[in-house]
Amino acid sequence: MTTALIVGAGPTGLTLAIELARRGVSFRLIEAAEGPQRGSRGKGVQPRTIEVFEDLGIADRVIAHGRFAMPMRSTGPDGAVKVGGGEPAELRNRPDIPYTTSLTIPEWRVEEALRARLVELGGVVEFGTALTAFEQTDAGVTATVAVGGTTETITAHWLVGADGGHSIVRKQSGIAFVGETRDEIRMIVADIAVDGLDRDAWHMWRHPEGMVTLCPLPSTELFQYQASIAPGQDPGLGLVNLQTILEQRTGRGDLRLHEPEWATLWRANARLAEHYRDGRVLLAGDAAHIHSPAGGQGMNTGIQDAHNLGWKLAAVARGAAPELLDSYEAERRPIAAGVLAASDARLARTIARGGMSTGRTAGTLQLDVGYRGSWLSRDDRGGDALLRAGDRAPDATGLRGVDGMHRLFDLTAGGRFTLLSFGPVAGVAAPSLGLDTLEVVAEPTRIGEIADAAGQLAAAYGAREGALVLIRPDGHIGMISDGGDLRMISDHLAAIDRGEPSAR
């Protein structure tokens, strides 16, 4: 009986499988498709997600196939050109934020890097394996899957639906998918070669009939083609229609398209699952939330769902109370609701102005995603503190140890809790996932001690001598005690294993 059956091997399912594999938790990852899907689909990886990739050990290989801060060149109906898409001014020269702009990369490249990492950890994707039915009891889930014309029964303690907007797991669970589909808002999306256009920027044209864009896809010879399709306009995915739309909306006859290598007609769909958990069944990624691609949030939100769920599922597998999994929905569903609202607003602005904005904000970069108010987030700070429990844990550079210089993120990676102590600290009972301790001292003499020579760490955490900060396995702050209350930390870790808030 495997711990988890994960249905769907897109970015969300792959991330969850990696989280379990690196902790030695058993799983099976099945995918109905016969092999990897090659369409670009989502093409924006946000800075917070790249931090997740660092933790998973794949950031370098993802970055190698992408491009940061892709310039966005928008041409209006009058021929006026506006260029944007650079680094937000408020994020420049910030040692607490290692990545300040989004990375443009086709989604299939992200999946490729995730699959390679999964193989390194001993995992595998079972392609051509489709879930057909399942039943759950208090003890587990029994699933029937179809494989090459035969059926197989899989038993698991937990079933995770990461199988997209048309999720079979969600439908068979009876979980409502609340929202709407707006058939009047459609867009052609295609991967296509283009003659006569430079690859220096994401090219956008605004026209009374609608927008058309061509974005170079790094690490390929292709562009992603996008064209809005209003009611009454031809939604055909053939080359002739795509070329006609391009010429009409750009006014240029020098751009020649080749046969699309992949194409789809996207319809505006904004929906949110009423619940993320039904007994031993959990939802993640597009199975739990779908929304406009405006702002490049969908793939990133799913990956971060899995990063949140993964350590909790592993903790339960190692003896923590199953009630810990209730915190997954409590923390991630409000994030998806916010993303859905923001994406819908961005889509409305895009329709109103006939084209996408060339600007980026800290919000779309997902650096402000946090869990203040969760029972997993506790501190003894005042309400006006800039950094609170639940927030993303900041990075810091220039940390000196006995073995050389470090970044904080390098020291906290690996999927364990980290207790950051601004001074010597006695031992703390480790939770089910283990606990690393980093002591900030004037002169390190052993592994686990670091010197904050430039004061970046203390500044990022607003910490004084003796303060304690508990960093969760997913890179968020679980607890801050400015007073250095070690019992507060110990009680909180014990409460996590019990799956309920601590009494203090």
Place of tokens 């609340």: 178
Using the predicted structure, report yes or no on whether residue 504 has a pLDDT greater than 50: no
99 vs 292, more confident: 99
Half-sphere exposure in the Cβ direction for 72 (13 Å, CA): 24
Mean pLDDT for the chain overall = 92
Fold of 2-64+103-176+270-353: FAD/NAD(P)-binding domain (3.50.50)
Using alpha carbons, list the distances in angstroms from residue 245 to 13, 226, 401, 479, 489: 36, 10, 59, 54, 60
208-212, 315-319, 364-368, 460-464: range with lowest mean pLDDT: 364-368
Mean pLDDT of 113-129: 98
Q: Are 65 and 43 in contact (CB under 8 A)?
A: no
Task: Encode pLDDT of 389-413 as tens digits.
Answer: 999 999 999 999 999 999 999 999 9
Tell me: the pLDDT tens digits for 287-334? 999 987 765 678 999 999 999 999 999 999 999 999 999 999 999 999
The band of 472, judged by pLDDT with boundaries at 50, 70 and 90, is: very high
Is 3.30.390.30 the CATH classification of the domain at 378-498? Answer: no
d(CA 489, CA 470): 7
Quote the CA–CA distance of 158 and 147 in Å, as a whole number: 21
Question: What's the mean pLDDT in 412-437?
Answer: 87
Domain boundaries, the chain: 2-64+103-176+270-353, 378-498
Considering the entire predicted model, what is its pTM? 0.94
Residue 11 φ then ψ, to 5°: -55, -35
User: Token pair for residue 28?
Assistant: 């099976």
**Residue 351 binned pLDDT confidence (cut-offs 50, 70, 90):** low
* Nearest partner of 457 among 374, 388, 397, judged by Cα: 397
Give yes or no for residue 354 having a pLDDT over 60: no
pLDDT band at 426 (very low <50, low <70, confident <90, very high): confident
The C-alpha atoms of residue 192 and residue 214 are separated, in whole angstroms, by 9
Residue 349 confidence (pLDDT): 63
Residue 282's H or E segment, with its range, is strand 281-283
Three-state secondary structure call for residue 199: coil
pLDDT higher than 50, residue 453: yes
pLDDT in tens, 239-254: 999 999 999 999 999 9
